[in-house]
Amino acid sequence: MQPLLDRILSANLILTTLIFYVTARIYLLPKIQEFKPQTILIPILLLHSLRHLGLMFLTRGAVYPGMPPQFAYPAAIGDFIAALLAFTAIPVVLKNRPVARPMVWIFNVVGTLDLIMAITLATIYKAPVYMGASYWIPAFWVPALLVTHYIVFVVLTRFDKGETK
């Protein structure tokens, strides 16, 4: 049963990421140069500010008994840190402060590495069978976060090159 559950979650994660990516390629990325960085970054930072929801991996009822702590704690704490970084970047991005770009870079690198680490740890410690109600996080939420991290990298690199408004 375990190998099947691992494959189902992996398929959900990959296919949902693909759908979010295709959506971004159709609707946002071709027009990205038409927007100020803040116009794209603020909604993404708000979305990532909700990553406190990763704390569900530590909550009975959201996960089944036996959830490997080697996965649950790093995933929950990493998400919470990413949420704090995103949320604290919002006011400086809105005000276009000089510290905005470095703060968004820090958020984006830390947040991306957190997701990669969580996916890796979930695989190593066979966490999918214990996901319970929190299954929607890696099946739906993580793909959205991965694609929006990619979009932030695109915005930041174009902004660094002076390619946006």
Residue-wise pLDDT for 140-154, tens only, equals 999 999 999 999 999
Q: Is residue 65 part of a domain?
A: yes
Tokens read off for 21: 């990516």
Query: Smallest Cα–Cα separation from 62: which of 52, 70, 53?
Result: 53
Q: Is residue 165 part of a domain?
A: no
- Residue 63: domain span: 2-28+36-160
With 0.85 as the threshold, say if the pTM is over it.
yes
Q: What pLDDT was estimated at residue 7?
A: 82
Tokens read off for 132: 């319970």
Per the CB < 8 A criterion, the answer to whether 24 and 151 are in contact is yes
How confident is the prediction for the chain on average, in pLDDT? Answer: 93
Q: Label residues 17-31 b or e (16+ Cβ within 10 Å = b).
A: beebbeebeeebeee
Mean pLDDT of the region 61-74: 97
Specify the number of domains making up the chain: 1
Q: Is residue 44 part of a domain?
A: yes
